[in-house]
Structure 1
Amino acid sequence: MIHHSEAGGAKIIIAKPNHSSSWRHNLWALVAIAVPSLAAAIGFTLLGAWPILPLAGLELGCLGGALYYVNWKLQYRHVITLTKDRIKIDKGHYAPRRTWRLPREQTRLAVTPEAHPWDGPALAIHSREHHVAVGEFLNRDDALALMKLLKAELRTGTHSAQTRLQL
């Protein structure tokens, strides 16, 4: 998913993975699964099959942990801020975990075409000191949209074919 805006003379591009539901919807799905599962487990426990209750709890705990992990992974984003003099790239989940500041004059866009028609092109912003891949988690349409936005702002330094090594 690509969002872009302009504020105070800077263009801000936010790239983040697509996700079908929010954490709140995941919790509702977990509750919808937990109610009948725990009701059946309590029923069997009352009939004397007590090992079912901790296993049902373990199952729901694992499902909740998996839903949380997937939701956390989908909060990852790249924020690219383009100003007149600088390009700032922030990567992180809820807050920037890694930041690059590149001089705009020396910065170029590197585009590697897709290896498969369903894939999007691999994009990287590079300068003399840094080579930063951006949007590697995007689907084809979003990668093309990001490429279009970046090409409007940056010169394309390299546009190379995919190279494959065979041993």
Structure 2
Amino acid sequence: MVSSSRSDASLVIIAKPNHSSSWRTNKLALLAVSVPSLGAAIGFTALGAWPVLPFAGAELLALAGALYYVNWKLEYRHVITLDDSVVSIDKGHYAPKRRWRFKRDQVALAITPEKHPWEGPGLSVHGNEETVRVGEFLNRDDCLSLMALLRKELLVRTHSPMSRIKL
């Protein structure tokens, strides 16, 4: 998903993966699975088949861990801020973990054509010394939307396969 907002002197573009459900919805789904699973496990435990209960607990714990991990991965985002003198790119989950800053007059956009019609083009912002990929987790439509936003703001200096990329 790509969203943008423009203020007086800057443009902020936020690119993040599409969510199928929120963390609250995942917790409700876990609860919906837990009630019958634990109900059956407690019933079997009451009948003397006690080894069923730890396996049911382990199964629910694994499901909860998987749901949390997927939700955490989907909170990853790229925040690209373009103002009059600086282009900054922040990447991270919930808060920026990595940050790049480029002078506006020394930055350009590199576009790598897609290898397959379902994929989106590869997008990189590069300065004099460093190249940063942006939006690599986006689907084709969102990637094209991000490319259109960046093309309006940055020069496109390369439109070919990339040779070296730093992540």
TM-score, normalising length: structure 1: 0.96
| 2:63 aligned partner, one-letter code | L
| 2:50 aligned partner, one-letter code | W
**Residue 39 (structure 2) aligns with:** 39
Q: Displacement of 1:7 after TM fit?
A: 2.2
The residue matched to 2:117 in structure 1 has which SS?
Answer: coil
* Conservation of the 8 A alpha-carbon contact between 1:114 and 1:162: no
**Residue 114 (structure 1) aligns with:** 114
Q: Displacement of 1:134 after TM fit?
A: 0.1
* Conservation of the 8 A alpha-carbon contact between 1:115 and 1:162: no
Q: Displacement of 1:162 after TM fit?
A: 7.3
* Gaps in structure 2 of 5+ consecutive residues: none
1:7 aligns with 2:7: yes
1:154 aligns with 2:154: yes
Q: Displacement of 1:9 after TM fit?
A: 1.3
- Give the aligned CA root-mean-square deviation in angstroms: 1.0
**Residue 64 (structure 2) aligns with:** 64
The residue matched to 1:124 in structure 2 has which SS?
Answer: strand
Whole-angstrom distance in 2 between the partners of 1:7 and 1:155: 21
Whole-angstrom distance in 2 between the partners of 1:161 and 1:76: 26
Q: Displacement of 1:161 after TM fit?
A: 4.4
Whole-angstrom distance in 2 between the partners of 1:160 and 1:8: 34
**Residue 133 (structure 2) aligns with:** 133
The residue matched to 2:78 in structure 1 has which SS?
Answer: strand
Which 4+ stretches in 1 moved above 2 angstroms? none
Q: Displacement of 1:104 after TM fit?
A: 0.6
The residue matched to 1:55 in structure 2 has which SS?
Answer: helix
How many residue pairs were aligned? 163
Whole-angstrom distance in 2 between the partners of 1:101 and 1:129: 11
Q: CA separation of 1:106/1:149 partners in 2, compared to 1, >3 Å: closer, same or farther? A: same
Whole-angstrom distance in 2 between the partners of 1:65 and 1:153: 41
TM-score, normalising length: structure 2: 0.96
Whole-angstrom distance in 2 between the partners of 1:87 and 1:14: 13
Q: Displacement of 1:129 after TM fit?
A: 1.5
